[in-house]
Chain A
Amino acid sequence: MTPNLTASAAELARLMAAGELTSEVLTRSCLARIEQLNPALNVFLSVDAESALAQARDIDARRAAGEKLGPLAGIPIGVKDNFCTTDFPTTCGSRMLQGWTPPYDSTVVGKLRAAGLVIVGKTNMDEFAMGSSTETSFYGPTRNPWDTERIPGGSGGGSAAAVASFMVPLAVGSDTGGSIRQPGSVTGTVGVKPTYGGVSRYGLVAMASSLDQPGPCARTALDAAMLQEIIGGYDRHDSASIDQPVGDLTGAASAADLSGLRVGVVTELGGEGYEPDVLARFDEAVDLLRAAGAEVVEVSCPSFRYALPAYYLIQPAELSSNLARFDGMRYGHRAGDDGTRSAEEVMNLTRDEGFGKEAKRRIIIGTYALSAGYYDAYYGSAQKVRTLIQQDFDRAFEAVDVLVSPTTPTVAFKIGERMADPMSMYMADLCTIPSNMAGNASASFPAGLSEDGLPVGLQVMAPPMADERLYRVGGVLERALEQQWGAPLLARLAEKEISA
């Protein structure tokens, strides 16, 4: 029996629960798909087939013995390579951590194991999650399965491409400025950044701690909801973790319509600088929301225009501090230790050799923004802007239940196109950054294809701890589009031949 790898995780889980499919057969098929496509796409940095099959057989045996298993038990999953795993190296896409295997599991990975998901491998990412294209990975770029000349988004391009190319039905990512949502948008998949504090950061290698948030990557709203219900919830190991129930996300993803829901279109996230196809798909998606019963109004968030510049002060400042721990003394890469050099000299050489160009660029900017004499003008001002953005959101959510915008101003760009121009790369996160700055929940759902056949995403933003609203909107939009197209968006990718 060959399982249908284009099926949703929910459907595959149903087949396993009904005894019509085993995790071993499914896992074997996923591994074969990875083996077939990974040379062209460079999605997985590490895969452990033996361990994955052993996990799968264990789930099958427990199910056969009548054990009550979780709703996604036996489903293969990919994990972004910045989550600590005791059985895989955790490189963060950097030479600095090449071959490093952590001595403990991240909370997210621990929860996946406890829920019986089968971890098949670790996915490629921009170095230490800095980037919007997965091009800064020391291990080479990941390619977009829709067009292998193009980027899959970043930093979590590996996780999004793994799900889009049917290697695995689910993956987890982390979102600091859009690293789950923007890859979701440009690969035609669902990417969710839960409320900050909704999913534990423990064991997620820190980039910018006040912004980092783990979340699900999936092909449907329901699959993402099922995954967030598993990885979400309070964790005493994360001081920012919110001690509240996750909520009924799967119920919301199955909502029949949007009657009574007030939707705000953000004036500032659109217009000049956005590709016409992106705006056209966005407008059509908003029409579908209206047809499903939503009341749509325009909402102005004037401070959003300062979100990107403020982010590019706060994020480098925090990462320059967080990445100070990579000094070649206790773990990771060490360079130039020939017995004659001092520890400080070895640190200097280690960090020169271990970090790539973008990491160095941001560490230097962060060091500058935090240095004496500049702290108030840069970091302090940026934190004030953050307050203004939060106030914009607060005002908006008094008038509407959710906000919507395009997820990213353009479709997937060509590999290499923006590497020489950091500011153009940073613009890819223009729409996603405000929700990291304010900490509210936000997600990207497929909204169709451009004229060139490249995916466009719709971003939904909800107040903190109202993540279920994302899934309600996403689920209804997904079904409306599917009805229009006669099949899910990714069915078109399933028909395509993927080659490098």
Chain B
Amino acid sequence: MGITADDVARLGALARIRLTEQECHDLAPELNVILESVRSVSEVAGPDVPMATHAIPMANVFRDDVVTGSLTQEQALSGAPDQEDGRFRVPQILGEE
């Protein structure tokens, strides 16, 4: 079962990347080659093999609940493409109505 240009367009929408029809068309066969070559992984490990979650086993990491330094508002906004009144200014999130 291969990936079609329509699938690529759908994945592009999920990943929030505008892809032209041409890009979807070009990417589909490339992705199929890659997916074909990685398909072997689904055949090698049986149900008895546990999934690795970390390279090195580790426990959850906690720290003491004490206040430490953090970025100032100015620092946090320093890379903002647009800002207003000390806040990030972004395009409209909801519809006009």
Q: Do A and B bind each other?
A: yes
A-B residue pairs, 3 tightest by C-beta = A439-B55, A331-B79, A384-B45
Residues on the A chain within 8 Å of B45, using CB: 381, 384-385, 387-388
Judged by DSSP, the binding face of B is loop
Interface pair A360/B61, CB less than 8 Å apart:
no
Chain A: residues with Cβ within 8 Å of the partner, total of 71
Interface string of B1-31 (1 = CB under 8 A from A): 0010001100110111111000100010011
| Range for the number of chain B residues in contact with chain A | 35 or more
At the interface, yes or no: A300 with Cβ under 8 Å from chain B? no
- Residues of chain A within 8 A (CB-CB) of B42 are 377-378, 381
Given contacts A103-B76, A242-B56, A313-B38, list 16 more A-B pairs with CB under 8 A. Answer: A103-B75, A196-B55, A303-B44, A309-B38, A329-B81, A330-B79, A337-B82, A341-B91, A342-B92, A360-B23, A377-B42, A385-B41, A385-B45, A386-B51, A388-B49, A390-B52
With A240-B56, A343-B93 known as contacts, the answer to whether A348 contacts B18 (CB < 8 A) is: yes
- Judge whether A347 is part of the interface by a CB distance below 8 angstroms: yes
Q: For the complex, what is the distance from the CA of A384 to the CA of B35, rounded to whole Å? A: 17
A351 contacts B18, CB within 8 Å? yes
Contacts of A384 in B (CB 8 A): 41, 44-45, 49-52
Do residues A309 and B54 form an inter-chain contact, with CB atoms below 8 A?
A: no
Cα distance A343–B11 when bound, in Å? 19
Determine whether the beta carbon of A383 is less than 8 Å from that of B51. yes
24 contacts between A and B (CB under 8 A): A103-B79, A104-B71, A210-B54, A303-B44, A306-B40, A306-B41, A309-B40, A313-B41, A324-B15, A329-B90, A332-B79, A334-B81, A348-B17, A360-B23, A361-B27, A361-B31, A363-B17, A365-B31, A365-B34, A368-B35, A378-B42, A382-B41, A384-B50, A438-B55
Are A387 and B31 also in contact (CB < 8 A) when A344-B16, A360-B17, A377-B42 are?
no
Q: Are B56 and A422 in contact (CB under 8 A)?
A: no
A101 near B12: Cβ-Cβ < 8 Å: no
Chain B residues in 8 Å Cβ range of A367:
11, 14-15
A387 to B46 Cα, complex, angstroms: 11
Q: Which of A396-441 contact B (CB under 8 A)?
A: 422-423, 436-439
Kindly identify which residue among A312, A329, A387 contacts B52, using a CB–CB cutoff of 8 Å.
A387
Question: Would you give the shortest CB distance from B74 to chain A, in whole angstroms?
Answer: 9
List of A residues within 8 angstroms of B14 by Cβ = 367, 371
B residues with a Cβ closer than 8 A to A are: 3, 7-8, 11-12, 14-19, 23, 27, 30-31, 33-35, 37-42, 44-45, 49-56, 58, 61, 63, 71, 75-76, 78-82, 88, 90-93, 95
A364 and B28 alpha carbons, distance in the complex (Å) = 10
Cβ B76 vs Cβ A364 within 8 A: no
Is A329 a contact partner of B88 (Cβ separation < 8 A)?
yes
Are B79 and A342 in contact, CB atoms less than 8 angstroms apart? no
Contacts of B78 in A (CB 8 A): 101, 103, 331
**Bound: A57/B27 CA distance, A:** 52
Contact A464 B56 (CB under 8 A): yes
Min CB–CB distance A467 → chain B (angstroms): 13
Tell me, rounded to whole Å, the shortest Cβ–Cβ distance linking A386 to chain B.
4
